[in-house]
Amino acid sequence: MNPTGAKPLAVSMGEPAGIGPDLILRLYAERQQHGLPAFIVYGHLDFLRARAQRLGLDIALVAAAPDAAAETFPNALPVADIAGLVPDKPGDSTPLSANVVVEAISQATFATLRGTCRGVVTAPIQKSVLYTAGFRHPGHTEFLAALCWPDQPQRQSVMMLAHDELRVVPLTVHVPLSSVPGLVTAELIGATCRTVAHDLRTRFGIETPRLALSGLNPHAGEDGSMGTEEQRIIGPAIVNLQREGLDVTGPLPADTLFHLPRWRQFDAVIAMYHDQALIPIKTVAFDAAVNITLGLPIVRTSPDHGTAFDLAGTGKASSASMLAAIRMAHRLTA
């Protein structure tokens, strides 16, 4: 049940009105079938008990400290209980629960930084609700960087979504589309590609990662007639990275780069903005792709989907991506 030793994975509960808690509880109920490693949930114990009951899951949940979690896991789901107001209302979120949601991520991260847990798996958050409550980070990716490097605000983490040998990285992430062109800089391209190459080497064992960069404009600018970012910024940034010894190709037209035979020629594709990167991977592997944060001193994974309010509390949501996220965190920390 806990094949790699005593340390559990730290799983943050995510948005209580969403499907994250459902998936965690269901996977715990199916832990033997899936051969899951031990994990501890950071969240609200009474809420999780109420959700388990709503879903008809016959499981025990118990308050536990992370260093006792692996021992507890075979018999009861260990929960690092966080005090707060968390009603069991699927699909009906409230900013009043935001403190518990954010604290769950923080405590799971700190337990991992301390070495009490092996890695962090996050269930989805409802970003808009957290913003209403004053959360000032675009998402987990940036929040985790702030937690890991509180004194180095310039340090950046990188979002990667992965499924088997298909991997994609959005260069810019949770920003309005109108601000993307101004954010596509040689500095950001350089830093992102170095982080991706480094983590593919050190965490994924790919000795010489093959990276491809998409263009920003249709047909990668069509020699400057449909936009000039490729010639002015992306192309020169690639040449610089090649001089550093990185295997980087591009800028390539984004519309054909994700044709599977082409995509598979690279260990990761760096696309210029969120949807350019996430649409292809969610189209080919919505059920099984995993969101992995690169550049951190710890491992963090997450399912590729969001809170799916329409499915919360119904038991109908697929647990495949959450299962893949747990397995990926397990593999990366084994």
Ligand X SMILES: NCC(=O)COP(=O)(O)O
Ligand Y SMILES: NC(=O)C1=CN([C@@H]2O[C@H](COP(=O)(O)OP(=O)(O)OC[C@H]3O[C@@H](n4cnc5c(N)ncnc54)[C@H](O)[C@@H]3O)[C@@H](O)[C@H]2O)C=CC1
Residue 252 touching ligand Y (CB under 6 A): no
Choose, by CB under 6 A, the member of 12, 301, 302, 321 that binds ligand X: 302
Q: Does 12 bind ligand Y (CB under 6 A)?
A: no
Which amino acid, one-letter code, is at 103?
A: E
Question: Smaller CB distance to ligand X: residue 140 or 167?
Answer: 140
Select the binding partner of residue 141 from ligand X, ligand Y, none (C-beta < 5 to 8 A, by kind).
ligand X
C-alpha 86/C-alpha 84 separation (Å) is 6
For 95: left if phi > 0, alpha if psi spans -120 to 50, otherwise beta; the answer is: alpha
316 labeled part of a ligand binding site: no
- Residue 136 phi, psi dihedral angles, 5° rounding: -110, 15
Using alpha carbons, select from 207, 154, 184, 175 the residue that is nearest to residue 270.
184
Instruction: Report, in Å, the least distance between residue 153 CB and ligand Y.
Output: 22
Quick one: 46 or 275, whose CB is closer to ligand X? 275
The conformation of residue 13, written as its DSSP 8-state character, comes to: -
Q: Does 140 bind ligand X (CB under 6 A)?
A: yes
Measured from the CB atom, the residue of 120 and 238 that comes closer to ligand X is 120
Q: Are 302 and 123 in contact (CB under 8 A)?
A: yes
One of 89, 127, 201, 203 touching ligand Y (CB under 6 A): 127
Residue from the set 116, 231, 249, 318 that interacts with ligand Y by CB under 6 A: 318
Min. distance of Cβ 295 from ligand X in angstroms?
Answer: 13
Task: Identify which of residues 46 and 310 has a Cβ nearer to ligand Y in the complex.
Answer: 310
Choose from ligand X, ligand Y, none: what does 200 bind? Cβ within 5-8 Å by kind. Answer: none
Q: Does 190 bind ligand Y (CB under 6 A)?
A: no
Examine residue 157 and tell whether it contacts ligand Y (CB under 6 A): no
Segment 37-56, which members bind ligand Y (CB under 6 A)? none
State the binding partner of 311 from ligand Y, ligand X, none, CB within 5 to 8 A by kind. Answer: ligand Y
Kindly state whether residue 95 participates in binding ligand Y, applying the rule CB under 6 A: no
Residue whose entry in the numeric block shows the structure tokens 């985790």: 144
Is residue 137 marked as binding? no
Largest CA distance in the chain: 64
Q: Establish if 278 lies at the interface with ligand X (CB under 6 A).
A: yes
Residue 305 in the binding site for ligand X (CB under 6 A): no
Token pair of 199, please? 């983590």
Beginning with the edge strand found earlier in the chain, give each strand of the sheet holding 300-303 in spatial order: 61-63, 77-81, 39-43, 9-12, 120-122, 300-303, 290-294, 158-163, 166-170, 268-271, 210-214, 247-252
How many Cβ atoms from other residues are within 10 Å of residue 62's Cβ? 15
| CA-based nearest residue to 41, from 107, 130, 138 | 107
Q: Which segment (95-103, 135-143, 221-229, 240-248) binds ligand X by CB under 6 A?
A: 135-143
- The annotated binding site for substrate is made up of 140-141, 282, 291, 300
